[in-house]
Chains A and B, each alone.
Chain A
Amino acid sequence: DAGVIQSPRHEVTEMGQEVTLRCKPISGHDYLFWYRQTMMRGLELLIYFNNNVPIDDSGMPEDRFSAKMPNASFSTLKIQPSEPRDSAVYFCASSRARGTQYFGPGTRLLVL
């Protein structure tokens, strides 16, 4: 079975540009999570969805960040405009009910 798929794996962009990260959860999973990992703050939950509906977005840092889940097999995390402090690894994870969260390989974002 395919795991969580994220794209792109690496993204380098300039400050002010829009960045879109994509995630395909494991088929049949009804929860989807977006995390951000930095050296300073570790792994932080940004937002999570249940059955495509955002449940808790209290971890989203500011209005520049937005996430959508238009259907059960696709989610996006968008940063507009991007800033150098957004540089991090962004992980998507999915789970069935409240079971084990399976993480994708991450998107390494560098904002210059």
Chain B
Amino acid sequence: EAGVTQFPSHSVIEKGQTVTLRCDPISGHDNLYWYRRVMGKEIKFLLHFVKESKQDESGMPNNRFLAERTGGTYSTLKVQPAELEDSGVYFCASGGGREAFFGQGTRLTVV
């Protein structure tokens, strides 16, 4: 069974540009989570989808971040326009039972 897959693994963009991160959860998992780790800090929750609906987006830092989950399958996280402080590793996780299964993360560098 495939795990949680994230694309791309790395992205380097200039300040002001737009970047879209993608997450493919484990098949059949209704719950999908986005987390972020900024350099040197802890991993922080961004938002939670149940199927295609946003259950909790309390961790989204500002309105430059937009998350979607098409048809309750894969999810995208768009940052527009990107700022320097958005650099970090973005993790996606999907939930089955009481556990979260994480992807390998997308390392975003804004220069």
- Asked if A pairs with B, the answer is no
Q: Residues of A with Cβ closer than 8 Å to B?
A: none
Q: Residues of B with Cβ closer than 8 Å to A?
A: none
